[in-house]
């Protein structure tokens, strides 16, 4: 009896075969819609008078910044080959070399966050909207929407986790095959009842890290921010700092189960024969995502410290809460 799960064969990235409609794009649309509706609810709760078109346009330009930033980061910082730097016109080109439609593949969360912040601040300044007030509301809504994005990653079978013998581990069809000559591979295959006889490479079960992230970075973070702190923020901008720290912690933990990036991780060899990237479990082997998360947490702490000092010095005025 197998002690792992096969990726569902009926689960396809394409919604309608033959048409360029994918679940990943649909999940992004759901994510933006959820975040938008939750922001509108908070605006109503605080009694803020603002045109709905302004809120829609705020989201539009924030999303544009998010898409630009996430794609640029993914094709520069996360691509050490320099391919897109040599051919920057391909960064947003949705076709392969044979002109088959592939969509835009490869996005970076931290790049998206950077671009979203730029788009958000620029629009708020132009329309004279409070960056801190609206920022608090948006980041409180975003995590629940982000859950759908990770579900889209799972449906695509991408961003899968590290190899695992857990009974809920999943064999993802597009995962990296590993050599059966490695002792750890043979030991794990025997443990889970997988016959690797006559095989040179094998696709082993992995943590469904996309689902872990959907739960930690999405549901849990949203629940904490929405039900615990939403109506208890001590000063404007508090939710922004809390989001930065909360997401950083959730992502840092999830990264221990997620397959590290091939070229950008700080690999620490363990043992005389070394330890392959896909078996590395040392808590000191930080991935690129974890390093960026530490920087993100530090930024959140700085935001809270600066805004708290500013709030203590500012004259007391009536807030929207």
Q: Smallest Cα–Cα separation from 214: which of 202, 206, 223?
A: 223
- Tell me the average pLDDT across 219-246: 97
Q: What is the spatial distance between Cα 282 and Cα 294, in angstroms, rounded to a whole number?
A: 17
**Residues, the chain, total?**
321
Judge whether 212 and 257 are in contact, CB under 8 Å: yes
Model confidence at 275: pLDDT above 70: no
Q: What Å distances lie between residue 98 and 61, 101, 147, 164, CA to CA?
A: 33, 9, 34, 37
Angle, to 10 degrees, between the axis of helix 288-313 and the axis of helix 238-254? Answer: 160
Q: What is the spatial distance between Cα 100 and Cα 102, in angstroms, rounded to a whole number?
A: 6
Whole-angstrom Cα Rg for the chain: 22
| Secondary structure (3-state) at 93 | coil
Model confidence at 264: pLDDT above 80: no
- Tell me the average pLDDT across 299-314: 91
**DSSP-derived pairing of the beta strands 201-202 and 178-179:** antiparallel
Model confidence at 99: pLDDT above 70: no
Residue 112: band (very low, low, confident or very high) from pLDDT cuts 50, 70, 90: confident
pTM: 0.83
Model confidence at 318: pLDDT above 90: no
Q: Which range has the worst mean pLDDT, 249-253, 293-297, 313-317?
A: 313-317
* pLDDT score, position 230: 96
Show the tokens assigned to 246: 């909360």
Residue 266: band (very low, low, confident or very high) from pLDDT cuts 50, 70, 90: very low
Compute φ and ψ for 110, nearest 5 degrees. Answer: -65, -35
How high is the mean pLDDT of the chain?
A: 84
Q: What is the spatial distance between Cα 137 and Cα 124, in angstroms, rounded to a whole number?
A: 13
Model confidence at 317: pLDDT above 90: no
Residue 271: band (very low, low, confident or very high) from pLDDT cuts 50, 70, 90: very low
* pLDDT score, position 313: 79
Q: Tell which wins on pLDDT, 145 or 279.
A: 145
Q: Which range has the worst mean pLDDT, 18-27, 206-215, 222-231?
A: 18-27
Show the tokens assigned to 160: 């899968």
* pLDDT score, position 122: 96
* pLDDT score, position 268: 37
């Amino acid at each position: 009896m197998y002690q792992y799960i096969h990726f569902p064969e009926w689960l396809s990235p394409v919604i309608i075969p033959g048409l360029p409609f994918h679940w990943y794009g649909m999940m992004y649309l759901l994510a933006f819609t959820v975040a938008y509706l939750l922001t509108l609810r908070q605006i109503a709760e605080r009694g803020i008078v603002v045109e709905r078109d302004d809120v829609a346009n705020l989201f539009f330009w924030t999303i544009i910044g998010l898409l630009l930033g996430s794609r640029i980061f993914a094709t520069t910082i996360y691509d050490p080959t320099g391919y897109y730097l040599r051919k920057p016109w391909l960064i947003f080109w949705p076709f392969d070399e044979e002109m088959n439609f592939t969509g835009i593949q490869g996005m970076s969360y931290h790049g998206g966050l950077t671009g979203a912040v730029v788009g958000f601040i620029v629009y708020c300044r132009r329309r004279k909207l409070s960056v801190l007030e609206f920022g608090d509301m948006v980041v409180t809504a975003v995590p629940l929407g982000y859950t759908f994005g990770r579900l889209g990653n799972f449906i695509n079978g991408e961003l899968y986790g590290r190899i695992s013998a857990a009974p809920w581990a999943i064999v993802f069809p597009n995962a990296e095959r590993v050599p059966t000559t490695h002792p750890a591979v043979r030991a794990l295959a025997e443990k889970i009842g997988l016959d690797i006889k006559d095989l040179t490479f094998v696709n082993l079960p992995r943590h469904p890290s996309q689902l872990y992230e959907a739960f930690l970075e999405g549901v849990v973070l949203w629940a904490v921010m929405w039900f615990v702190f939403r109506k208890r923020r001590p000063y404007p901008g508090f939710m922004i700092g809390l989001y930065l720290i909360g997401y950083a912690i959730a992502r840092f933990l999830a990264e221990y189960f997620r397959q590290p990036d091939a070229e950008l991780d700080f690999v620490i060899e363990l043992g005389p024969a070394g330890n392959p990237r896909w078996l590395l479990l040392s808590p000191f082997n930080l991935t690129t995502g974890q390093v960026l998360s530490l920087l993100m947490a530090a930024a959140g702490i700085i935001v809270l410290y600066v805004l708290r000092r500013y709030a203590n010095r500012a004259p007391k005025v009536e807030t929207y809460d």
